[in-house]
Amino acid sequence: MDYYTSNGKEGRVVEFDFQSGLGKVADDGGGQWPFHCTAVRDGSRNIEVNKIVRFSLRPGWAGRWEATDLLQLS
């Protein structure tokens, strides 16, 4: 997967644990992408489950892709 072609995806936050700062966002194609609270664009480090977001993908730990630059749309 090429990082530059994976920008601008949309999906829904399906998991978020405030204590650990870890969550997952699911895209419309059925993919689920982990993210860390520092990936929330507004700097709040918090996001609610079921929020619709626009995000990008980047290479993460152990060769897996992760969501970054999460922007709430709703």
CATH number of the domain that residue 20 is part of? 2.40.50.140
What is the tally of structural domains in the chain?
1
Mean pLDDT of 38-59: 96
d(CA 12, CA 50): 6
Rounded to the nearest integer, the mean pLDDT of the chain is 90
Mean pLDDT of 11-24: 97
In one-letter notation, the amino acid at residue 30 is: G
d(CA 60, CA 48): 22
Structure tokens at 32: 């689920």
In one-letter notation, the amino acid at residue 53 is: V
pLDDT exceeds cutoff 80 at 6: no
Domain holding 39, by residue range, is 3-72
* Per-residue confidence (pLDDT) for residue 46, from 0 to 100: 96
How confident is residue 1, by pLDDT bands cut at 50, 70 and 90?
A: very low
* Per-residue confidence (pLDDT) for residue 7, from 0 to 100: 66
